[in-house]
Amino acid sequence: MTQVIRTSAELRARVAAWKRSGMLVGVVPTMGALHDGHLSLVAEARKQSDRVIVTIFVNPMQFNNPSDLEKYPRDEGHDLALLEAAGVDVLFAPGVDEVYPEGFSTKITVSGVSEPLEGAFRPGHFEGVATVVAKLFGMTQAGRAFFGEKDWQQLQVVRRLVTDLNIPVRVIGCPTIREADGLAMSSRNVRLSPEDRAIAPALPAAMERAAAAMRAGTPVAEALETARAEIAAAGLGPIEYLDLRHAESLAPASDLNAPARMLAAVWLGDVRLIDNIAV
């Protein structure tokens, strides 16, 4: 049975009891509308922890666009059924007032790694992420936390946050789960029209071709330019960014001498797709 908990006081009591009996607690933070990508994190959490908490909180602080927040898909009943089937111990689903009570006034800024890419195009987004993730770590007291590589920059921001604030949690990154046609799973994909859904896989396909070209010696700038042209020709756009970056710092990378990551954000209709791959 998955127990649904809505307050941090109740959650703290539950976790304290687990910890008294020496259990290792894992947490999977999400915004709900769960899919197989989320469930892969749950499966990893179950492997690496004695008890698993999944959090569902659509965090207003990390939405820079009010209509994206309003249209964000929500279906807690369906999510709970998936979590039951996946063997999750606790679903922590607090309301906005529980997370941000009257008088709340703290914001966490992780500089550097949070500034380019998503940080540049979604002002305030990573302050919202860092603040809520720090709070979720405080509320869950988890020893391990599982995040998807799908949100590569977020994963780097969370790692920096945990190191800088000495938060006693081990952050585990898990690979991106994709549909059969290559599109990275995302809660927002349900908002794609059938026509847009059909052309969406052109994004990861162009990225994979560019990565292969780079590995084969094509200059980085040239491979990226070809990918941008292919993405536009497939009917996606506008492209916010498609770039090669150092995998950890996210500083610009112009060659493959250090671990590199290709990251993209592209509009398709009124849905913003993000994706990234190792190069």
- Residues at the site binding ligand AMP, with contacts judged by CB under 6 A: 30-31, 37-38, 40-41, 147-148, 150-151, 174, 176-177, 184-187
Exposed, middle or buried by CB within 10 Å (0-12, 13-18, 19+), for 98? middle
Distance of closest approach, residue 58 Cβ to ligand AMP, in angstroms: 9
| Residue number with CB closer to ligand AMP (41 or 90) | 41
User: Which two structure tokens, joined as six digits, stand for 149?
Assistant: 């590589």
Tell me which H or E stretch contains 4: strand 3-5
78 is catalytic: no
Distance of closest approach, residue 49 Cβ to ligand AMP, in angstroms: 16
What is the rounded (10 degree) CA torsion for 61, 62, 67, 71? -100
| Residue number with CB closer to ligand AMP (116 or 204) | 204
Sign, CA dihedral 114-79-38-231, equals negative
Distance of closest approach, residue 184 Cβ to ligand AMP, in angstroms: 5
3-state secondary structure (DSSP) of residue 268: strand
Which residues is 266 bridged to in the sheet?
239, 273
| Residue number with CB closer to ligand AMP (2 or 62) | 62
Catalytic position from the list 35, 38, 78, 125: 38
Please choose, from the candidates 23, 35, 61, 82, the residue with its C-alpha nearest in 3D space to the C-alpha of residue 188.
Answer: 35
Rounded to whole angstroms, the Cα distance separating 277 from 11 reads 36
Distance of closest approach, residue 31 Cβ to ligand AMP, in angstroms: 4
Rounded to whole angstroms, the Cα distance separating 214 from 225 reads 12
| Residue number with CB closer to ligand AMP (156 or 176) | 176
| Residue number with CB closer to ligand AMP (100 or 224) | 100
Distance of closest approach, residue 188 Cβ to ligand AMP, in angstroms: 8
Rounded to whole angstroms, the Cα distance separating 41 from 267 reads 26
Q: From the CA atom positions of the chain, what is the Rg in Å?
A: 19
The catalytic residues are 38
